[in-house]
Amino acid sequence: MSNFVLSQAELQQIVTIAKQAGNAIMDVYAQTDLQVEIKQDDSPVTAADIASHNVIIKGLTSHFADIPVMSEEDANISWATRKQWQTYWLIDPLDGTKEFIKRNGEFTVNIALIHQGQAIAGVVYAPVLGKCYSGIVGNGAWLEHNGQISRLDISQRSILPIPVVVGSRSHISPDVAAYLHTVGEHQMLSVGSSLKFCMVAEGQADVYPRLGLTSEWDTAAAQAVLESAGGVVVEYPALTPLQYNQKENILNPYFIAASAAWFER
């Protein structure tokens, strides 16, 4: 891979764009009459998804005009075009639309920079929680919360005596149940959206096994944050790096996101 790197100043620009998108989401969140539509893939979409998308597209095209963008809300880009991309933005304007509709606050704005198949930088912003995670792989990861910025580094973290597994708020699939059987005694935490990766990056959980369908925009930004913090995201069971833009469809394989120590136990 070439040494293409996002600068710290450029990362802060992405943080600003993510926060602006979060403000647009919260404008809709405050409304009492929330209109929900169902897309062709049976997933819900709201005015907040579209508002956030528009803010992010405007911000990225004004500051990074030479880098193409793929968004969940504008994903009709041919493989013939997309496979030529060496570098592009991959965004989920509102990750956790179901959580948004439930009004539980567990939704995020996800903005990732992909270069040669790798998520090299990412921002995950949870507007209700007031948490903004950001990272540049190789340069570090940070959490901004209530105006305070702290460094995220789990590279030397040991597994908790009783491992903490983070998962989806929906039911545990048979594949995840089988994986958890191999883990043995553990504590299970549930949270929505890409916050599952972020809990591992914060050291609040040891592992996030996702043995079910996700799309590439669901994971890229948070993978970049976790790997910037010293974590690992690999396909399962192959244990090879989870990559992007390698095929026509945008579905991820099964994967495990964890601290590095998890794979050494």
pLDDT 10s digit of each residue in the chain, 265 long? 446 789 999 999 999 999 999 999 999 999 877 788 888 777 888 899 999 999 999 999 999 999 999 999 999 999 999 999 999 999 999 999 889 999 999 999 999 999 999 999 999 999 999 999 999 999 999 999 999 999 999 999 999 999 999 998 666 889 999 999 999 999 999 999 999 999 999 999 999 999 999 999 999 999 999 999 999 999 999 999 999 999 999 999 999 999 999 998 8
pLDDT of residue 1: 40
Residue with the two structure tokens 């209530």: 146
Which candidate, 187, 154, 151, places its Cα nearest to that of 260? 154
Architecture per CATH, 8-152:
2-Layer Sandwich (3.30)
Beta-carbon-side half-sphere exposure of residue 219 (alpha carbons within 13 Å) = 28
pLDDT of residue 3: 65
Q: Which two tokens stand for residue 2?
A: 């070439």
Q: What is the pLDDT of residues 171-222, one digit of tens each?
A: 688 999 999 999 999 999 999 999 999 999 999 999 999 999 999 999 999 9
Pairing of β 164-167 and β 118-126 = unpaired
pLDDT of residue 9: 97
Per CATH, the number for 164-264 is 3.40.190.80
Interacting residues of 91 by C-beta distance below 8 A, sequence separation 6+: 53, 56, 60, 69, 70, 71, 72, 110, 111, 112, 217, 221
Let me know: does 218 contact 110? Beta carbons within 8 Å.
yes
Domain boundaries, the chain: 8-152, 164-264
pLDDT of residue 219: 98
Q: Which two tokens stand for residue 44?
A: 């819900």
